[in-house]
């Protein structure tokens, strides 16, 4: 994809432990929502979506948002399936298209929805909703504007990170991971390609 954005990597797989997710107080939730509301990339002006209850999208909506899952909207490929960018109601999104392969795959899909629907933190990519129609399984995430960390660490990167930026990304990523662990959500696949960054080096 062009438009000055790097490619969005595959969204990470999540595992929600059997322990109950930690409670988020109304006070904490208010400040998190306020921070999301005022979070705008200073370079591309990409806005983070407002926090809302997770939505159930239709296949038609996601098909139209991604121009029929056009190759021009293609972002990445993983063992789970493919990721496409799209635009829905004026909001830029990333649509994770799961392969429908087995009962285990269905279990992992439901586990990811269950875990991430409860994750509300400025350093965790927001899950906006999902779609389950027939054999189709999709997860809809907010779009993170400057791609994945591994793209910036590559020797071929056109925009290598200086040390202050690397430290900022490391701290933000650690905060997101700490939040998940405190709420009994185990990531299982922490690596540079699964850490997304904005042009301001906010990591998720």
Q: pLDDT truncated to tens, each residue of the chain (204 aa)?
A: 222 223 333 344 444 444 344 444 444 444 445 555 557 777 777 777 776 667 889 999 999 999 999 999 998 887 677 899 999 988 899 999 887 656 666 777 777 787 778 788 889 988 899 998 888 889 999 999 888 898 888 777 777 888 999 999 999 999 999 999 998 888 878 888 889 998 888 898
Q: Which residues contact 93 (CB under 8 A, 6 or more apart)?
A: 65, 85, 86, 87, 128, 140, 141, 142, 143
In CATH, what class is 15-194? alpha beta
Q: What is the pLDDT of residue 101?
A: 56
Q: What is the pLDDT of residue 37?
A: 52
Inter-CA distances, 34 with 22, 29, 31, 92, 115, Å: 20, 9, 5, 20, 22
Q: Which of 146, 150, 162, 189 is catalytic?
A: 189
Catalytic residue at 146? no
Phi, psi of 116 (to 5 degrees): -75, -20
User: Taking the C-alpha atoms of 138, 122, 187 and 93 in order, what is their torsion angle to the nearest 10 degrees?
Assistant: 20
b/e per residue, 132-164, with b = 16+ CB within 10 A? beeeebbbbbbbbbbbbbebbeeeeeeeebeee
pTM exceeds 0.95: no
Q: What is the pLDDT of residue 152?
A: 87
Q: What is the pLDDT of residue 175?
A: 94
- Residue 187: which of 128, 111, 99 has the closest Cα? 111
Domain boundaries, the chain: 15-194
- Residue 98: which of 82, 121, 120, 114 has the closest Cα? 82
């Amino acid at each position: 994809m062009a438009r000055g954005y790097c490619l969005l990597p595959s969204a990470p797989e999540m595992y929600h432990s059997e322990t109950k997710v930690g409670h988020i107080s109304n006070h904490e939730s208010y400040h998190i929502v306020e921070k999301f509301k005022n979070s705008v990339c200073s370079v591309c002006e990409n806005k983070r979506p407002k926090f809302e209850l997770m939505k159930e999208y239709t296949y038609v909506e996601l098909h139209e948002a991604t121009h029929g899952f056009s190759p021009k909207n293609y972002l990445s490929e993983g063992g789970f399936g493919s990721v496409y960018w799209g635009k829905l109601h004026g909001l830029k999104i990333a649509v994770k298209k799961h392969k429908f392969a087995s009962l285990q795959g269905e279990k992992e899909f439901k586990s990811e929805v269950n875990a991430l629907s409860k994750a509300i933190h400025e350093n965790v990519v927001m899950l906006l909703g999902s779609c389950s129609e027939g054999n189709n399984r999709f997860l809809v995430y907010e779009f993170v504007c400057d791609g994945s960390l591994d793209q910036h660490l590559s020797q071929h990167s056109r925009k290598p990170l200086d040390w202050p930026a690397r430290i900022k990304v490391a701290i933000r990523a650690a905060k997101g991971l700490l939040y998940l662990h405190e709420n009994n959500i185990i990531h299982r696949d922490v690596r540079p390609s699964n850490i997304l960054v904005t042009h301001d080096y906010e990591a998720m």
